Structure 1
Amino acid sequence: MNQEAWKQPFFSSKMPACAVKGHWASFCLVDETGSGKAYGGLAYTIQDSTGQQYSGRLTGEGFAKLQGFYCGPVVLALEGLYSGKEAPYFGLSTRETYKLPITELQIRAEQTRFVAADGQRTESNPAQHQADRFYQVEVRDLVRHVAHLPPLAPRAYQPQRHALRMMAELGFGPPQPALSGVVLFPNLHTLLEVRPLRALRPMLSGDDRFCALNLYQLALMSTLSYCDFGQEPPTRPVDQVSFPLSPSVGNVFAEKLSGYQEAWKVDGEQVQRFYPLYEEVPYSQRFEIVPFDPELYPQNRSELAEKQEHPARVHFFDDEQFGTDTQAFITHHDQVILISVRGTASGVDALRDANAHQVPFAEGAGKAHEGFYQAYRAMRDFVLQYLGQFHDGQRIVICGHSLGGAIALLLAEGLRRIPSADYNILVYTYGAPRAADSEFSEGASSLVHHRIVNHNDPVPSVPAPWMNTTTKLWVPGAVMLFSAPAPGGLLFAAGLVRVGGNPYQHHGEQQHFMPIQLADGTLSSVLWKPGCESILEAGCNRALQLHGDMPDRANLLKQLLQANQHFMTASYIPAAWATLRRWQQTVDIQGPLVTPREFELIDHALQTMTQQLRDKNRELDRRRPTNQRSYGHEHNQALNAEIDRLRTSRQRLESLRWRRLDVRDVYGSQAHSADLQPSLKRWFSHRENREISQLASIPPPSHSDRGRPQPLDIDSIV
């Protein structure tokens, strides 16, 4: 019979394209080293051009040969589903929602490794010369349901996908593209190099104890929360979704990390490269983005309209119903559920969120900032639904920056208070304002919360302890609000004082970046736990030099121009990176955490603060009538207590001169992981991480890093 020209290359010129038996084909599955042992014993199916199906198993070397099939190409598939009980595969394939069609082939591919450290394909395979045809394939080439698998990686020797269309036109099996598998041609031996199914995931410590690893990693994840989810189409998908937008949450987790690519960009305008510390894991143990497959999952069908589920709705919260402008993402693997909450990025509801009114924290003790509480309540059901689907005893790690940190705290305490749940929660926040009152903080004392503060970031100073109380200790008469660092609209609001009530109070263990300038003029910082409020207030109060009852305008504008101290990419991330490098070096050389020169610089700052508090104490006393002057006055008591706390802070600082770090201080629960050294080797392969400046001084921000994220926003400040 005659053939169309495009079909002729697939057939021998001496062989008619008709249903005649008597032909053979052989094939071998191998890894990138040319060994087929990883795939030995796998079950396979082959269909010929008449639709007849043959089945068998690979030999111990991954080889198989089929003889006597009908003339023409055949299609090979390896779709045998996993039937064992091994974790996490059994759990993933049997869970109530989004059961994954995990095949035996997938598990074998997850147990192989890349030859190249970066996961790039090799140019050739050692066994390639033994074959008539050589294809570089992936698991998704050989199975039908592929939505849960990574996107295809670039390859030089790809199977001829259009051959499937040819087979469909010949009447073989279902129509293409539903037809799955790799086409093998008759009377030829084909070598199939299967790409390892490995992924990268950010290393995290599950310890309660603070560590430099989590400090850095969660700073990056907190910043990523400012990105879109990046799904295309964003709503009402029909048959498939993709995540082409970079950077975006979906692109990082579903594309780059799933495809073994190191992602470093967590902000669209970011220039400096800050690579997370990644560990290589079997693909099924990555941070998951659920698949979209309407054929497998009825909840994915587009006819459900507003009730349709897709990855963006499962993993990404972007509040429209309640109008709080709250945004967050959530993902998980077998050990960790990660929740990252974004601060406000627009001014739509900023003025309402700026309301410092306190409302009862219904889930527990005390009262919370009304705007922050409303934002937490808006996302609560979203989080609970996700946990109901995917929580299986993992550590829940919650992080957030600015307003996102305040919401993260309320969310963590709300989850902890659920009687029927047993959630094990760990919280890291960056530049977060006070979210609730002292009663809340006391009631949530058992919640593990590491609160990171940049010394020059004014946001953690608000709402001030005196707000909504009768005592105005720090800044009488005015509240500073920021709408943007440039051009810098300003708003001063008064009258936020309520009679009675408990003062706003920070929760958690403060980790404070204390800035210093090294001898060569470069900036560095020391991360420590001062334990007193005056250090926290100092960065903000320098801008609020009062003239009468209003801040000095010039100083306040200067503070606005230095608002990058609140940004993540320009401030918190570089400082966190410097701390990780510094602590790594400290462990390597077994040196002290604070050098004598650093102690001298910070000690001088503490002495200055102590003197300022004493001067303020005397000034307040002089303002009162002579017959009312007494060191028993509430102002005197508060200031004297703070002076005592400063003295204690200095003692803490001095102890750092002799403290020696251990590996667990740096890497937490990952300190003795077998994956740590390979992960560090990968991390140090990047030039940016090999640079060792004096005591890991903070890398200077580029100009493009000053704008995003995140401008000071009104709801974060008050």
Structure 2
Amino acid sequence: MTMEQWKQPFFNENMPACALSGGSLSFCLVDESGDGQVYGGLKYEVFDSAGKGYKGHLNGDGVARIHGQCRGPVVLVFDAEYKATGSFYSTLQEREKYPLPITDLQVRAEQTHFLNPNGKRAERNRSRHKGDQFYQVEVSDLVRHIAHLPPVAPSAHRPQRHALKMMADLGFGPPQPALFGVVLFPNNHTVLEVRPLRALRPMLSTQDDFCALNLYQLALFASLSYCNFGQVPPEKPQDEVHFPLDPSVGNLFAEQLSGHQEAWRVDPEQTQRFYPLYEEVPYSRRFEILPFDPALYPQNRPELGDEQEHPARLHFFDDEKGGTDTQAFITHHDEVILIAVRGTASSADGLRDANAHQVLFAEGVGKAHEGFYLAYQAVRDFVLRYLDQFHTGQRIVICGHSLGGAIALLLAEGLRRIPDANYNVLLYTYGAPRAADSEFTRGASTLVHHRIVNHNDPVPSVPAPWMNTTAKLWIPGAVTLFSAPTAGGLLFAAGLVRIGGNPYQHHGEQQHFMPIMLPDGTHSSVLWKPGCESIEEAGHSRALQVRGDMPDREGLIRQLVQYKQHFMTASYIPAAWATLRRWQQALDSNGPLVTQREFELLDHALATMRKQLQDKRRELTRHRPTNARSYEYHEPLNAEIDRLHTSRERLQTLRWRRLDARDIYGSHAHSAALPPSLKRWFRHRENQALPQVASIPPATPSELGRAQSLDIDSVV
């Protein structure tokens, strides 16, 4: 019988439904295993065709029976508000901005789990054949306000939405803005399988100490900062918003992770799959993208025009129109607020990178790179508005790549300096240039900053310590264009001169990918803390300072050839992933952090560097002016040679050091969530490899067959 034939006895133009009473039906709510006990005692409401409501509670097995209602279909809803003062949910319900309409049903669904670990709907349910009708429903099918809930997952047994629409069109039920709920038919027992409300949350350690987990996870988020937010419509939405673009910030957090889908793309050009390490959490503990609902939130109403709030405006900062072209995103859950700042991606970014003039860091002490400082100022108010609304004591984790790392450093220190805010900041940067002078670095000494550098990445070498100038002093034709990650990006001024001020200085504890070559001829690297500037800068910039503060042009060009070592998806992410796998392997086998073979290769590289420095010292001695004092040439190089010796001693100790779980997973080392998260991560074939050491991008044909040397002339 068709729906049109079925509804004829009940509906006509004058009477929307049959007024005869005496109908009956029953229903039950079950989880994906067929168990209804989790929904036992849940309050429900049923509306019959005359608009009369029937309220009750499910029994201990999640079952209810209705008798005496008007004959015909009814609408079932579970819209009772969750009430438990002092709970985690009450903090979400009572927050000043964007309070959430959380129902009892939502809380119960968050306590259930998927039958399939991947979150896909199970085709079979042991309770399916206990009813005349079987529906696979979402919480959003049964409650009024749904903007904060995840998108509907595909299912072969969805409720008949056309039946609800038909009844709404006929004026069925009590007057209300929009009819919602699930239609049940008379004289039937209906089984409703409720999809669990679980989400995937990328794991982040909140401890100060460096860990391989954060190294990898935050490399992914630093890369995601280059993507758009992906909201449709992007501006002035009317009723609802969607996030269909993959990859995009909104799609990752609001669509895929909220829907329990394991996402792996953080770059539109990405082909290799890099999965974050996810933990499964109750939906309300996910990284949140705030809801858009003009009926609930006056700040969402379209009539506000340019003042209208919506997810893209709350979570995503894009200052293209403001002139700095700074881009960043922010999101949070109950333990972490995550901020990621984009690196160089446009000509405006390049002009900012090249503006090495120093200005006062008004929020603290010292001076900062003017271009980076202007970008920081642009994003600061955006971040503070978000923190004012949603910071409840969480650890603030900030990451950034390239230019984004420099801005992230200034932002982290600026937040830390706000009086009485008590922001607890943790910072990871990748391939970041120097952002400020030595006084700033000393003043920010207590800021926890893990600074990641990939061998000959050219960007951390700028601004050189000798720089303090403006774009007006560029020598025509002496500007080399360099891109990260798209063409036309970072500008290196090859002919700038120093005009006073303290020298630029890096901040943070350096973690360096040191190159080696494996027996099969492939190039790899080991991540370690060298404690030596030569490892990153190749040292002779000290000698250059006393020879007139001018960079070596030939060395600069040679380093730019290695620009791919600056890219995230081609360089930093693969190396970070392989470091995580290498450290996991060392933990499982109780092996050392650095093997004997790795030590020999690194030791050879350090010996080569030491010889280069000694040769440079001899060269300067031969060519120094007759009236120059020898210490002006020898002291900086001698100090660097001593640091190389100290670095070798540090490296030697790593042969005996054994890793523990906190070195790898940080604050998650002993978490009950870690084993299932690792099991999920290792299901992907990409994560099952056992690399000997962390890999770096493939060498060029000219480099194959020999170890990649660390050329001290390669960095300005």
Q: 1:158-307 to 2 correspondence within 5 Å?
A: 158-173=158-173, 178-307=178-307
Residues 335/87 of structure 1: CA separation in 2 closer, same or farther (3 Å cut)? farther
Give the equivalent residue in structure 2 for 1:334: 334
CA contact (8 A) 1:456 1:539 kept: no
Residues 494/220 of structure 1: CA separation in 2 closer, same or farther (3 Å cut)? closer
Give the equivalent residue in structure 2 for 1:606: 606
The 2-side partners of 1:491 and 1:318 are apart by 21
Q: 1:644-655 to 2 correspondence within 5 Å?
A: 644-655=642-653
Q: Structure 1: which 5+ runs fail to align?
A: 470-476, 703-716
Q: Structure 2: which 5+ runs fail to align?
A: 470-476, 701-714
> 1:9: Cα distance to partner?
3.6
Give the equivalent residue in structure 2 for 1:59: 59
- TM-score norm. by structure 1 comes to 0.91
Residues 11/515 of structure 1: CA separation in 2 closer, same or farther (3 Å cut)? farther
The 2-side partners of 1:625 and 1:303 are apart by 74
> 1:611: Cα distance to partner?
1.9
Q: 1:8-23 to 2 correspondence within 5 Å?
A: 8-9=5-6, 18-23=18-23
The 2-side partners of 1:381 and 1:486 are apart by 28
> 1:614: Cα distance to partner?
2.1
Q: Does 1:129 align with 2:129?
A: yes
Give the equivalent residue in structure 2 for 1:7: 4
Give the equivalent residue in structure 1 for 2:154: 154
Give the equivalent residue in structure 2 for 1:473: none
1:44-64 per-residue CA deviation (whole Å, 9 max, x = no partner) reads 111111111111111111110
Give the equivalent residue in structure 2 for 1:667: 665
1:324-363 per-residue CA deviation (whole Å, 9 max, x = no partner) reads 1100000000000000000121113522441100000000
The 2-side partners of 1:628 and 1:551 are apart by 21
> 1:174: Cα distance to partner?
6.3
Aligned letter for 2:496?
L
CA contact (8 A) 1:200 1:260 kept: yes
CA contact (8 A) 2:582 2:692 kept: no
Give the equivalent residue in structure 1 for 2:705: none
The 2-side partners of 1:169 and 1:200 are apart by 38
CA contact (8 A) 1:47 1:53 kept: yes
Give the equivalent residue in structure 2 for 1:585: 585
Give the equivalent residue in structure 2 for 1:711: none
1:535-589 per-residue CA deviation (whole Å, 9 max, x = no partner) reads 1013999xx9x9x978566x76664443211000000000000000000000011
The 1-side partners of 2:486 and 2:239 are apart by 44
The 2-side partners of 1:433 and 1:468 are apart by 14
The 2-side partners of 1:384 and 1:636 are apart by 48
Aligned letter for 1:264?
W
> 1:492: Cα distance to partner?
6.5
Identify the match of residue 638 of structure 2 among 622, 637, 640: 640
CA contact (8 A) 1:457 1:540 kept: no
Matched position secondary structure for 2:614: helix
Residues 389/701 of structure 1: CA separation in 2 closer, same or farther (3 Å cut)? farther
Aligned letter for 2:638?
N
The 2-side partners of 1:484 and 1:169 are apart by 56
Matched position secondary structure for 1:222: helix
The 1-side partners of 2:313 and 2:421 are apart by 23
Aligned letter for 2:663?
D
> 1:14: Cα distance to partner?
14
The 1-side partners of 2:490 and 2:83 are apart by 64
CA contact (8 A) 2:467 2:499 kept: no
Aligned letter for 2:49?
S
Residues 394/701 of structure 1: CA separation in 2 closer, same or farther (3 Å cut)? farther
Aligned letter for 1:655?
T
Aligned letter for 1:465?
P
Residues 596/208 of structure 1: CA separation in 2 closer, same or farther (3 Å cut)? same
The 1-side partners of 2:441 and 2:489 are apart by 33
CA contact (8 A) 1:434 1:505 kept: yes
Matched position secondary structure for 1:246: coil
The 2-side partners of 1:175 and 1:525 are apart by 68
Q: 1:518-533 to 2 correspondence within 5 Å?
A: 518-533=518-533
Q: Does 1:407 align with 2:407?
A: yes
Residues 117/498 of structure 1: CA separation in 2 closer, same or farther (3 Å cut)? same
CA contact (8 A) 1:486 1:560 kept: no
Q: 1:306-705 to 2 correspondence within 5 Å?
A: 306-468=306-468, 482-483=482-483, 493=493, 496-538=496-538, 559-631=559-631, 633=632, 635-695=633-693, 697=695
Residues 521/459 of structure 1: CA separation in 2 closer, same or farther (3 Å cut)? same
Matched position secondary structure for 2:24: strand
Matched position secondary structure for 1:565: helix
CA contact (8 A) 1:10 1:185 kept: no
The 2-side partners of 1:234 and 1:318 are apart by 12
Identity percentage over the alignment? 72
Aligned letter for 1:644?
D
Aligned letter for 1:636?
H
Residues 492/210 of structure 1: CA separation in 2 closer, same or farther (3 Å cut)? closer
Residues 163/699 of structure 1: CA separation in 2 closer, same or farther (3 Å cut)? farther
The 1-side partners of 2:8 and 2:91 are apart by 45
Residues 540/575 of structure 1: CA separation in 2 closer, same or farther (3 Å cut)? farther
Matched position secondary structure for 2:564: helix
Matched position secondary structure for 2:216: helix
Residues 126/698 of structure 1: CA separation in 2 closer, same or farther (3 Å cut)? farther
CA contact (8 A) 2:353 2:490 kept: no
Residues 86/485 of structure 1: CA separation in 2 closer, same or farther (3 Å cut)? closer
Residues 491/231 of structure 1: CA separation in 2 closer, same or farther (3 Å cut)? closer
Residues 637/271 of structure 1: CA separation in 2 closer, same or farther (3 Å cut)? same
Residues 176/165 of structure 1: CA separation in 2 closer, same or farther (3 Å cut)? farther
The 1-side partners of 2:146 and 2:167 are apart by 21
1:579-636 per-residue CA deviation (whole Å, 9 max, x = no partner) reads 00000000011111111121111111111212222222232233233343422x2x42
The 2-side partners of 1:175 and 1:620 are apart by 90
Give the equivalent residue in structure 2 for 1:91: 91
What CA RMSD, in Å, does the superposition of the two structures yield over aligned residues? 2.7
> 1:499: Cα distance to partner?
3.8
Residues 186/6 of structure 1: CA separation in 2 closer, same or farther (3 Å cut)? closer
Give the equivalent residue in structure 2 for 1:705: none
Matched position secondary structure for 2:136: strand
Matched position secondary structure for 2:636: helix
Aligned letter for 2:595?
T
- Mean CA deviation greater in 345-354 or 636-645: 345-354
Aligned letter for 1:669?
S
The 2-side partners of 1:367 and 1:356 are apart by 11
> 1:691: Cα distance to partner?
1.5
CA contact (8 A) 1:150 1:255 kept: yes
The 2-side partners of 1:560 and 1:442 are apart by 30
Q: Does 1:79 align with 2:76?
A: no
Aligned letter for 1:391?
H
> 1:93: Cα distance to partner?
0.5
Give the equivalent residue in structure 2 for 1:106: 106
> 1:213: Cα distance to partner?
0.3
CA contact (8 A) 2:345 2:485 kept: no
The 2-side partners of 1:135 and 1:342 are apart by 45
Aligned residues: 688
The 2-side partners of 1:651 and 1:197 are apart by 52
Residues 576/491 of structure 1: CA separation in 2 closer, same or farther (3 Å cut)? closer
Task: Show structure 1 runs of 4+ deviating over 4 A.
Answer: 10-17, 174-177, 477-481, 483-492, 548-553, 555-559, 696-702
1:175-234 per-residue CA deviation (whole Å, 9 max, x = no partner) reads 898211000001111000000000001001000000000000000010000000000000
